[in-house]
Amino acid sequence: MLVLIPVGILSYLGFVPGFSKYVVKATDLGIVTDKSLVTAFETKYGQKDGSGKVKLDVNMSSEEITSVFAVWEDRDIYFPLKDVQVRFNADGTAEAAGYLKIATAVSLAKNLGYSDDDIQKGKDYIKYVSGDLPFYVKGTGGMQNNQLSINPSDFKLGRVNVPESITTPASKLVGDMVNRRLRQIGGADIKEASFKAGSFKLIGTVPDTIKY
């Protein structure tokens, strides 16, 4: 959930002349991608039984979730992030880093049904950044009964620390974006999604076939 904040942030940045000079490489969290972990997970839990849904009660590691993002990047033309790393910490926080593909983020917003007015500030912002934009975010959050909460304590785009006055409303926007995307891919009933003990806990029902 935290990793989606950079997408929502585009709607609040507006004009930031000269911002591109602050762009640097993404933070390396030391998490290695292994797409075979995703294949193994899908083989174990993705068996169809005719219901159209799969029940999950699983704990996933930082490496597994990082690999899931890598697979999404391959499969989903609207996935707006690349080279994502996610790390779950023992203190109940999570960190995420990678690159935001700005043009793809705008395409995703359109695909999710946001109006041109909704994303105009984000479109204006694009011209101040050349290429993909590195991001880093740390904080807490999760889902309970399909209600998303995101509480970022540290958020950076390039070298710029994004203030709370922007991250707070952007976090709410991310919740709306997540709900819209879940409906698009076939729906999901998330009873719990959390990272309180150094791993990602997921309890709920998800579609056995995702419509990217």
- Give the lowest-confidence range in 30-34, 143-147, 185-189, 190-194: 185-189
> Mind listing the pLDDT tens digit for each residue in 69-96?
999 899 888 888 889 999 999 999 999 9
Tokens of 75: 């499969």
What would the DSSP string read from start to end of 139-170? EEEEEETTEEEEEEEEEEETTEEPPHHHHHHH
Over residues 103-125, the mean pLDDT reads: 74
Tokens of 109: 């917003």
Give the per-residue pLDDT at 29. Answer: 96
- Residue linked to tokens 């000269």: 18
Taking the C-alpha atoms of residue 2 and residue 176, their distance in angstroms, rounded to an integer, is: 13
Collapsed DSSP state (helix, strand, coil) of residue 25: coil
DSSP H or E stretch at residue 109: helix 102-111
Structural contact between residues 95 and 86, judged by C-beta atoms closer than 8 angstroms: yes
Taking the C-alpha atoms of residue 95 and residue 138, their distance in angstroms, rounded to an integer, is: 4
pLDDT higher than threshold 60 for residue 159? yes
Over residues 178-193, the mean pLDDT reads: 81
Counted residue by residue, the chain has a size of 212
pLDDT higher than threshold 80 for residue 163? no
DSSP H or E stretch at residue 192: strand 189-194
